[in-house]
Chain A
């Protein structure tokens, strides 16, 4: 399993999760966990996903999600999980 972390930050609006999930489903990226909070109207979501099923290069997924974020008007980052693991786990 190859895990990545997707973070979505921005002003809350209808259909953010739906649009992200639609993209992930189309690319055969499985969602393992979702957590989400709204602080002062700002939407803050984190997804842990498994990217081993997708045929796309990871760099392309990063670009696609970035573009999707610009369409919806939120910031979407997709990063390999290791950067968080190495920083927060010994």
Chain B
């Protein structure tokens, strides 16, 4: 039988170390909504999402109450809209009308984000996909809860450099469209390489075409729990360090698995995966950078950071995999800048640069995330940064992503405030040398040699 020590340990994790379930995300396929009539398409989308997710928030809150564990977000991901709207949309404005429908239904069912205003163009773009991508700035400026992502490369297909070039321009334009809110639109836009079909975390969540009609995916978190556990093994060897991370990740993930099963049962929707990520928030004590410091660094970004992050990411996976029957999504350590107080401190102290972050993305679970850069950064420079990040993903057979915010009217040394879970960020300097000729070549980078496994 459970003893008082174990109960206290669990409750301390929840109450003092900010253990929470970061998100229950319901994936909903919109493939059966496809229609050539735009009005009808919008109606079908609204009803399918509403009927599927009307109980999602209430069920999330009920589970939270029963187990005494906070479930921070309830969210929805849908089939990439470029596929769903292709037959009906004749212009960018037509696509924007779908974004508005998504926003309306998200508000109606009470979820705080809905992901899937997306296009998967890792090899080429159809006219509809290009139209959707060009509509992103407008869509993100006239909606509140819609998140957008574009997959521009993969290990199997190589990198679509035409899409990379276009995304540099789209990010700039999105920043311009949302300049009144410090270019907040860009915080809801992710560029991916090897995007997973079952990611529950925003802004990059979408419901892949390989998925079932509806699915429940759960994202757990708990950087504070890992940090606290590591405080007890200060000065011990790497063996002890790694064992501690692994055991902690196991416990955290078990909670995610329990919540996922419960949500799936109560909603009558199949369980998809648990994403066992260490996802920080701006709250003090909920930071991945603090774990790196606890491992032995003065600041995130100091020499040794990449190695520390590599072992952290690997041990989190090793501990978590056994704790859940299905693991998926991104699963690892996130290193967003604005959403992590320790990362912000490291940038302010001058310990962490964009180049070091790029190196860190080789071994973490995602990529260059929530990084504010000067508003006058050129579109081709953004494309160059995206291309670098996509190449890391392609060659290392991992997911990489870019979520950069070129804050209009602001420069290095200034700060941008996004509020809530998105946090605030000091604007980081970008390498000013040109990559215009590289980005403007056009075409695609072929798939790497190790992708030919057939």
| B8 in contact with A77 (CB, 8 Å) | no
CA–CA, A76 and B337, complex, Å:
37
Distance from B15 Cβ to chain A, minimum over Cβ atoms (Å):
9
Per-residue interface assignment for chain A, residues 26 to 62, with 1 indicating a CB less than 8 Å from any chain B CB and 0 otherwise: 0000000101010000001010100000000011001
Which residues of B have CB within 8 Å of A58?
A: 66
> Which residues of chain B in 1-24 are interfacial with respect to chain A, using CB atoms and an 8 Å cutoff?
1-4, 6-11
| A7 in contact with B11 (CB, 8 Å) | yes
| B8 in contact with A83 (CB, 8 Å) | no
Distance from B326 Cβ to chain A, minimum over Cβ atoms (Å):
15
Residue of A nearest to B251 (CB): A87
Distance from B453 Cβ to chain A, minimum over Cβ atoms (Å):
35
| A83 in contact with B68 (CB, 8 Å) | yes
Q: Does B188 contact A (CB under 8 A)?
A: no
Distance from A89 Cβ to chain B, minimum over Cβ atoms (Å):
8
| B7, B10, B66, B258: most-surrounded residue (chain A CB, <10 A) | B7
| B65 in contact with A83 (CB, 8 Å) | no
What is the total number of residues of chain B having a CB less than 8 Å from a CB of chain A? 21
| B7 in contact with A86 (CB, 8 Å) | no
| A33 in contact with B1 (CB, 8 Å) | yes
Which residues of A have CB within 8 Å of B433?
A: none
| A87 in contact with B254 (CB, 8 Å) | yes
Q: Does A71 contact B (CB under 8 A)?
A: no
| B65 in contact with A5 (CB, 8 Å) | no
CA–CA, A48 and B2, complex, Å:
9
Per-residue interface assignment for chain A, residues 2 to 35, with 1 indicating a CB less than 8 Å from any chain B CB and 0 otherwise: 0001010000000000000000000000000101
CA–CA, A46 and B2, complex, Å:
10
| B8, B66, B68: most-surrounded residue (chain A CB, <10 A) | B66
Partner of A86, one of B1, B11, B257: B257
CA–CA, A85 and B323, complex, Å:
12
| B68 in contact with A88 (CB, 8 Å) | no
Residue of B nearest to A32 (CB): B1
Q: Does B417 contact A (CB under 8 A)?
A: no
| B10 in contact with A84 (CB, 8 Å) | yes
CA–CA, A83 and B7, complex, Å:
9
Which residues of B have CB within 8 Å of A88?
A: 2, 6, 9-10, 251
| B2 in contact with A59 (CB, 8 Å) | no
Which residues of B have CB within 8 Å of A77?
A: 11, 68
CA–CA, A7 and B9, complex, Å:
12
Per-residue interface assignment for chain B, residues 342 to 362, with 1 indicating a CB less than 8 Å from any chain A CB and 0 otherwise: 000000000000000000000
Q: Does B67 contact A (CB under 8 A)?
A: yes
| A59 in contact with B255 (CB, 8 Å) | no
Which residues of B have CB within 8 Å of A85?
A: 2
Q: Does B62 contact A (CB under 8 A)?
A: yes
| A44 in contact with B8 (CB, 8 Å) | yes
Question: Would A79 and B4 be within 8 Å (CB), given that A59-B62, A87-B10, A87-B251 are in contact?
Answer: no
CA–CA, A5 and B2, complex, Å:
9
| B67 in contact with A82 (CB, 8 Å) | yes
Distance from A27 Cβ to chain B, minimum over Cβ atoms (Å):
16
Distance from A67 Cβ to chain B, minimum over Cβ atoms (Å):
14
Q: Does B363 contact A (CB under 8 A)?
A: no
| B66 in contact with A84 (CB, 8 Å) | no
| A79 in contact with B2 (CB, 8 Å) | no
| B65 in contact with A59 (CB, 8 Å) | yes
Q: Does A80 contact B (CB under 8 A)?
A: yes
Residue of B nearest to A80 (CB): B66
Distance from B309 Cβ to chain A, minimum over Cβ atoms (Å):
26
Q: Does B295 contact A (CB under 8 A)?
A: no
CA–CA, A77 and B10, complex, Å:
12
Which residues of A have CB within 8 Å of B379?
A: none
| B2 in contact with A82 (CB, 8 Å) | no
Which residues of B have CB within 8 Å of A37?
A: 4
| A58, A81, A86, A89: most-surrounded residue (chain B CB, <10 A) | A86
Residue of B nearest to A60 (CB): B65
> Which residues of chain B in 242-270 are interfacial with respect to chain A, using CB atoms and an 8 Å cutoff?
251, 254-255, 257-258
| A83 in contact with B3 (CB, 8 Å) | no
Distance from A60 Cβ to chain B, minimum over Cβ atoms (Å):
10
| A80 in contact with B7 (CB, 8 Å) | no
Which residues of A have CB within 8 Å of B3?
A: 35, 46
Q: Does B132 contact A (CB under 8 A)?
A: no
Q: Does B203 contact A (CB under 8 A)?
A: no
Q: Does B202 contact A (CB under 8 A)?
A: no
Distance from A74 Cβ to chain B, minimum over Cβ atoms (Å):
14
Known contacts A78-B68, A83-B258, A87-B10; can you find 11 more A-B pairs with CB under 8 A? A5-B2, A7-B11, A59-B62, A59-B65, A62-B68, A77-B68, A80-B67, A82-B258, A83-B68, A84-B10, A88-B9
- Can you list 16 A-B pairs, Cβ within 8 angstroms, ordered by A? A7-B11, A44-B8, A46-B8, A48-B1, A58-B66, A59-B66, A62-B68, A79-B66, A79-B67, A83-B69, A83-B255, A84-B2, A84-B10, A87-B254, A88-B2, A88-B6
